[in-house]
C-alpha cells in the first residue's frame, strides 16, 4: 500500500497516547454497561462507519470576495487523492472520494483508478458541473443549463451528465449527484412551471442513461447563484422530481441548503418514509450555504439527524441505505485538518444516536411525556464517546489523536516543496 503517513511514526505517536485512551475507555465501558450497552459493539459500529470526502474540499475554498490560498495546495486530482489518503490513514472513516467533473477529469481514467487503488481509496458519487462555463464550451450556462430555454444548451448539459456517468463507471462509482445553479434573479424572469418541466425532461434523459445498479441523487439548494428563485429550491421540488423520475432517483440533503431554522431532521424522516433519502452532504452553517466544518456550530442538530437515521436502521426500514459525504469549504484552516475533524464529528453523532434508549423513547412518546422523551435524547447526546471513536481508529490502523499525528508528520510542509503556491484552484469558490 502506498502510505502517505509513515506507519512507524504513527505507531510511536499512538504509543504515547495509548494508556490515557485505555483509562478513558475502561471508564466508559463500565459507564455504558450500566445502561446495558456493550462498548465493543459500539466500537465495531464506529469502525464500519464511512463518510466520503469531496475532492474539492482539500483545496482552500473562498468567498464571493476573495480566496486566500494555503500552502502546498493540491494542483490536480492525483495530489487531491494524496491528501484524501492522509485523511483516511489518520481517521480510518473516510475511505472514499467524491470527484467533481470536469474539475477532476483526466485523459486516462484507468491510470486514475490505478492510483486510487494504490492508496486504498474508493470512488463515491460523481458530481456533474453545469453551474460554470468551461473554457472551450460551445453554449453558455449564464441563463441555465438543464432548464435553459435553448434546447441546444440543455442537450450540452445532458451530454455532460452522461459523460460523468461514463467516467464514473471507469472509476467504479455507483451514483451521480446533480446540483444545478439554474434559477432567476428577477420576478417574472422565469416561468416557474415551464422551467421545472424542462428540468424534468432533461433529467429523464440522464436517468435513462443510468446503469441498472446506479442511483441518481438530486441536490436542492435554496438560493445562490440565483437569488430570486431556484429551479430545485427545496426538498419539496426535490422529492417531486425524484418521484417523477423513478426508483433510482433519490433526494440528497446538503445541510447548508435550507432556510435558517428549518427542521432538517424532520425532512430526513419524511424522505426515509417515502424511500427517497439518497444521501447527505454534511457541513454546518449559520447564515446560508456557509460550508463550515460539520458539527462546529450545531452538533445537536447533527445528532438529531442521526437520531432519525439510526431509528430507521433500528426499525429495519425497507430500502434504507443513504450515502454520507462531507461538502465543506475551508477558508481559514488546513483543509486536511478540517476534513479529519469533520468526518469524526459526523461519526460521533452516529455513535451517540446509537446509544439512545429507543424503547424508552418510544414509551415516553406514547405516553406524551415530553420532558422524559427529550431527556432520553439529551442523555445520549451528553455522553462523551470520544474513547469509542479513538479506539475504533486505533484498531483500524489510524491515529488515536489524528490532528496531533498530522502535525507531527509535517505532511503539509513536505508536499509544499513540490506544490508551488497557486492564485486560484479548479474548485474556486464553493
Ligand atoms: C454547491 C453544492 C454542490 C457542490 C457545489 C460545489 O453549493 O453544495 O453539492 O457540488 O456547491
Ligand atoms: Mn453540496
Ligand atoms: Mn453547497
DSSP letters of 136-197?
T-SS--TT-STT-SSHHHHHHHHHHHHHHHHHHHHHT--EEEE----EESSTTSS-HHHHHH
**Best CA proximity match to 425, nearest among 136, 76, 100, 174:** 76
Query: 163 C-alpha to center of ligand 3: Å?
Result: 22
For residue 395, the CA-to-ligand 2 centroid distance in Å is 31
Mark the ranges of the chain whose per-residue pLDDT is less than 50: 425
Query: What is the pLDDT at residue 429?
Result: 55
Q: Whose CA is nearest to atom 11 of ligand 1?
A: 430
**Ligand with smallest separation from the Cα of 177:** 1
Q: How many whole angstroms from 259 Cα to the centroid of ligand 3?
A: 13
What distance in angstroms lies between residue 255's CA and the mean position of ligand 3's atoms?
Answer: 8
Closest ligand to Cα 427? 1
pLDDT score of 420: 85
Q: Which ligand has an atom closest to residue 428 CA?
A: 1
Q: Which atom of ligand 1 is nearest to the CA of 427?
A: 6
Query: Measured in angstroms, how far is the CA atom of residue 290 from the centroid of ligand 3?
Result: 8
Distance 14 CA to ligand 1 centre (A): 36
Q: Which ligand minimizes its atom distance to the CA of 254?
A: 2
Residue in 67, 102, 225, 254 to alter for ligand 1 test, most ligand atoms within 8 A of Cβ: 254
Ligand 1 atom nearest to 254, measured from its CA: 8
**What residues are in contact with ligand 1 under a 6 Å CB criterion?**
56, 100, 127, 179, 219, 221, 254, 281, 289, 327, 430
Å from CA of 279 to ligand 3 middle? 14
**Cell reading at 101:** 467533473
Helix (H, G, I), strand (E, B) or coil at 275: coil
CA of 219 to the centre of ligand 1 (A): 8
The total number of residues shown for the chain amounts to 430
> Which of 104, 282, 430 has most ligand 1 atoms within 8 Å of CB, for mutation?
430
Q: How far is the CA of 100 from the centre of ligand 1 (A)?
A: 9
First-to-last alpha carbon distance for the chain, in angstroms, is 32
CA 266 to chain CA centroid, Å, is: 19
CA-56 nearest atom, ligand 1:
6
C-alpha cell belonging to residue 140? 453558455
**Which residue's alpha carbon is at the smallest distance from atom 1 of ligand 1?**
430
DSSP string, 134-150: -TT-SS--TT-STT-SS
Pocket test for ligand 1, best of 283, 327, 425, 429 (most atoms within 8 A of CB): 327
User: Which residue lies with its CA nearest to atom 2 of ligand 1?
Assistant: 179
Burial of 224 (0-12, 13-18, 19+ CB in 10 A): middle
Predicted TM-score (pTM) above 0.85: yes
Nearest CA to ligand 1 atom 7: 430
* Nearest ligand for residue 282 CA: 2
Measured in whole angstroms, the distance separating CA 37 from the mean position of its chain's CA atoms is: 29
Amino acid at each position: 500500500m502506498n502510505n502517505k503517513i509513515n506507519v512507524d511514526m504513527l505507531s510511536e505517536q499512538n504509543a504515547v497516547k495509548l494508556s490515557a485512551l485505555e483509562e478513558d475507555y475502561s471508564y466508559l465501558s463500565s459507564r455504558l454497561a450500566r445502561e446495558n450497552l456493550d462498548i465493543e459493539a459500539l466500537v465495531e459500529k464506529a469502525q464500519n462507519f464511512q463518510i466520503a470526502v469531496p475532492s474539492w474540499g482539500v483545496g482552500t475554498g473562498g468567498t464571493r470576495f476573495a480566496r486566500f490560498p494555503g500552502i502546498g495546495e493540491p494542483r490536480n486530482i492525483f495530489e487531491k487523492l494524496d491528501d484524501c489518503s492522509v485523511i483516511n490513514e489518520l481517521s480510518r472513516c473516510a475511505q472514499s472520494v467524491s470527484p467533481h467533473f470536469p474539475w477532476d477529469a483526466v485523459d486516462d481514467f484507468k491510470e486514475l483508478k490505478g492510483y486510487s487503488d494504490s492508496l486504498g481509496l474508493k470512488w463515491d458519487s460523481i458530481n456533474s458541473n453545469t453551474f460554470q462555463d468551461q473554457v472551450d464550451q460551445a453554449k453558455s450556462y449564464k441563463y441555465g443549463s438543464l432548464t435553459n430555454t435553448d434546447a441546444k444548451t440543455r442537450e450540452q448539459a445532458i451530454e455532460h451528465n452522461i459523460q460523468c456517468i461514463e467516467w464514473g463507471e471507469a472509476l467504479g462509482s455507483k451514483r451521480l449527484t446533480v446540483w444545478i445553479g439554474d434559477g432567476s434573479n428577477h420576478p417574472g424572469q422565469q416561468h416557474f412551471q415551464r422551467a421545472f418541466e424542462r428540468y424534468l425532461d432533461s433529467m429523464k434523459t440522464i436517468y435513462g442513461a443510468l446503469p441498472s445498479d446506479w442511483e441518481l441523487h438530486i441536490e436542492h439548494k435554496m438560493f445562490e447563484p440565483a437569488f430570486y428563485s431556484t429551479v430545485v429550491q427545496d426538498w419539496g421540488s426535490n422529492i417531486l422530481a425524484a418521484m417523477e423520475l423513478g426508483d433510482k432517483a433519490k433526494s440528497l440533503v446538503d445541510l447548508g441548503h435550507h432556510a435558517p431554522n428549518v427542521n432538517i431532521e424532520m425532512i430526513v424522516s419524511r424522505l426515509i418514509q417515502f424511500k427517497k433519502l439518497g444521501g447527505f452532504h454534511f457541513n454546518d452553517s449559520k447564515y446560508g450555504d456557509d460550508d463550515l466544518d460539520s458539527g462546529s456550530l450545531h452538533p445537536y442538530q447533527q445528532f438529531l439527524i442521526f437520531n432519525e437515521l439510526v431509528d430507521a436502521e433500528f426499525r429495519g426500514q425497507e430500502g434504507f441505505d443513504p450515502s454520507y459525504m462531507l461538502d465543506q469549504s475551508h477558508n481559514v484552516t488546513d483543509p486536511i485538518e478540517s476534513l479529519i475533524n469533520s468526518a469524526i464529528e459526523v461519526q460521533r453523532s452516529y455513535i451517540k444516536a446509537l446509544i439512545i434508549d429507543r424503547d424508552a423513547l418510544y414509551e415516553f412518546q406514547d405516553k406524551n411525556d415530553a420532558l422524559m422523551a427529550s431527556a432520553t435524547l439529551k442523555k445520549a447526546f451528553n455522553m462523551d464517546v470520544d474513547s469509542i471513536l479513538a479506539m475504533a481508529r486505533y484498531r483500524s490502523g489510524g491515529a488515536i489523536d489524528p490532528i496531533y499525528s498530522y502535525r507531527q508528520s509535517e505532511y503539509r510542509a513536505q508536499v509544499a516543496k513540490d506544490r508551488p503556491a497557486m492564485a486560484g484552484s479548479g474548485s474556486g469558490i464553493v
